[in-house]
Structure 1
Amino acid sequence: MSKKRILYVEDDETLAFLTADNLEQHFDVTHVSNGKEAFELFCKENFDLCVLDIMLPDMDGFEIAQEIRNRNEEIPIIFISAKTMKEDRIKGLRLGADDYLVKPYSIEELILKIEIFLNRSQKKVEKSNKNHTIGTFTFEPTNYSLKNETQQITLTEREATLLNLFVENKNTVLKREKILTELWGNDDYFSGRSLDVFISRLRKIFKDETHVRIENIPRVGFKLVIE
C-alpha cells in the first residue's frame, strides 16, 4: 500500500530536517521552504494533506491556505506556527484549516493529528453519498455543500463534519467532549474555542430558518433541533 503524500512547508532548516525525518517513517513527504514555491507545487502535484508554517518567505501560510481552499475544499490542512495569539489560531481555522499546532510541538502529536485527518478523509470517500434536508437546505456531506433555491454555500471539511455529526444525531443532545473528540481527536481548551467558532458559523447560515436551530445546553453540549 502506497504511503499518503504530505506537503510540508517550513523555512526553518533544522526544524524541517527533524520533522521531515520523523514524518518520512510514516508518509511520503515533500518539503518546501518557500511559500510561493509550495503553492506552485500544490497546483502541479497531488497531495493528501498539507502541513504549513505561517511565517514564510514570498507567501505566508495563511495565503497558501486561502489559495488551497479556493481550489480544494477537501484536503486536510494543519498549521504549525510560533504565533501563539488566539486571533492567529482562529484566523487559521476560519480559512479552513483542520488544526493549529504551536511550536515547539510534539512530533508524536503531529503524526497522530495527520493520521486522524487522513483516516477521516478516507472514511468520507468510502461513505455513501446520502443527502439530508435541513429546513430549506439540502446538505450534501460528501460535497461539503448546502443548497436551497437562493443560496449555495460551500463548507470547509471541518464544518461539514460537524454539521453531519449534528444531522446524524438531530434533536439529540451531543456532549461537547464527544464533538471535540470526533472533530479534533481531543477536548483541550483551544479545540473548544475553535468549536465555538464553527458553531457560530453554522448558526449564521441557518439564522433565517424558522424550524432549524442549534441549541446550547449549558455545561453539557449542543443540540441541532429540526422541527
Structure 2
Amino acid sequence: MPTLLLIEDELSLGMIVRDSLEARGFTVLYAADGEEGYTLFREHQPDAVVADVMMPRLDGFSLAGRIRQTDPDVPIIFLTARSQTADVVRGFELGGNDYLKKPFSIDELIVRIKALLNRNRTVRPAAPDRLPIGKYQFDYPKQKLALDGKEIPMSHREAELLKRLYEQRNQVLERSAVLLDLWGDDSFFNGRSLDVFITRLRRYLKDDPQVQIVNVRGIGYKLIV
C-alpha cells in the first residue's frame, strides 16, 4: 500500500486520522508541524501528502511551495477550516491537488487520496522544454512564459492549465475534464477557482492579439493560436 505523509498540529485529530488510514492498509508518517513534515518528506519521499493549512513553524501552503521546488508530481491534499475562494486559489497556485474542508469523513479522504494516486500513475508523454504559443515561448518545466526577452513566472497550477490548453490548442478543452484532472472534482467551488486561473492566463498572453483563450459556452475553453 502507498505511504502517506500526514501533517496535522491538532494531536487528537492527527492520531484519529493516522489510525484510521493505517486500519485501511496505508503506511502513515505523522508530523505535528510543517518543518517536521518537510524533514519527513525529504527523508522518505511519500506517495502522497495530507497537510493541515494552519500549522506552527511552517504552514501548509509554505510547505507545499517547498515540496514543489523538488517534486512537481506528488499529490498534496490540504485539510482546513478555511474555505474562502482566495485561500483555495492560493493553495492550488502553490501546487496543491485537492482541498478538504474540516470536519471531513475518513471515507471521503481515502476516496480523494486514491483518486489522486491513480491519476498520478498515468504517464503523460514528454513535452518539449519550450512550446511556441504565438509570439510567446512557454517553458513548461521552468513554469515561465517569455516574450521579447521578458519572462513571466507562473505558478505550478497555471503552468499545468496552460499546458493542457496548448495540447488541445484550436480545439475545445472541456471544463469538466480539466477540473477532474487538476482539481479532483468539478464542483461549483472549484469551477470558480478555474475561472480565476483562466483570467490570469489571458492577462499573461494579452501582448499577442493572435493568441486568445475563448469561452465555449457550456463546454469549456479553447486556446486559439
TM range (shorter): 0.7 to 0.9
Q: Which residue of 2 aligns with 1:8?
A: 6
The aligned runs of 1:186-197 (5 Å cut-off) are 186-197=185-196
Q: Tell me which residue corresponds to 1:47.
A: 46
Identify the residue that residue 213 of structure 2 maps to in structure 1: 214
Comparing 207-216 and 19-28, the one that deviates more: 19-28
Structure 2, unaligned stretches of length 5 or more? Answer: none
Matches within 5 A, 1:1-227: 3-24=1-22, 25-123=24-122, 126-131=123-128, 132-139=131-138, 143=141, 145-146=143-144, 148=146, 150=149, 151=151, 153=153, 155-156=155-156, 158-226=157-225
Question: Which residue identity does 1:18 align to in structure 2?
Answer: I
What amino acid maps onto 2:224 in structure 1?
V
For 1:205 and 1:95, locate their aligned partners in 2 and report how far apart those are by CA, in whole Å.
18
Q: Structure 1 residue 26: deviation in Å?
A: 4.4
Q: What are structure 1's unaligned runs of at least 5 residues?
A: none
The one-letter code matched in structure 2 to 1:50 is V
* RMSD of aligned alpha carbons: 2.5
3-state SS, counterpart of residue 12 of structure 2: helix
Q: Deviations over 1:147-170 (max 9, x none)?
A: 5463374541x4344233322322
Shift of 1:31: 1.0
TM-score normalised to the size of structure 2?
A: 0.83
Q: Displacement, 1:96? A: 2.2
Instruction: Tell me how far apart the structure 2 counterparts of residues 202 and 177 of structure 1 sit (CA, whole Å).
Output: 18
Does the Cα contact within 8 Å between 2:9 and 2:32 map onto a contact in 1? yes
Tell me, in whole angstroms, the C-alpha distance in 2 between the residues paired with 1:198 and 1:217: 16
Aligned residues: 220
Cα distance in 1 for partners of 2:160, 2:115 equals 13
Decide whether the 8 Å contact of 1:50 with 1:76 is kept in 2. Answer: yes
* 1:137–1:146 CA contact under 8 A, matched in 2: no
TM-score by length of 1: 0.82
> How big is the shift at 1:120?
2.7
- The percentage of aligned residue pairs carrying the same residue is 39
Partner amino acid for 1:201? R
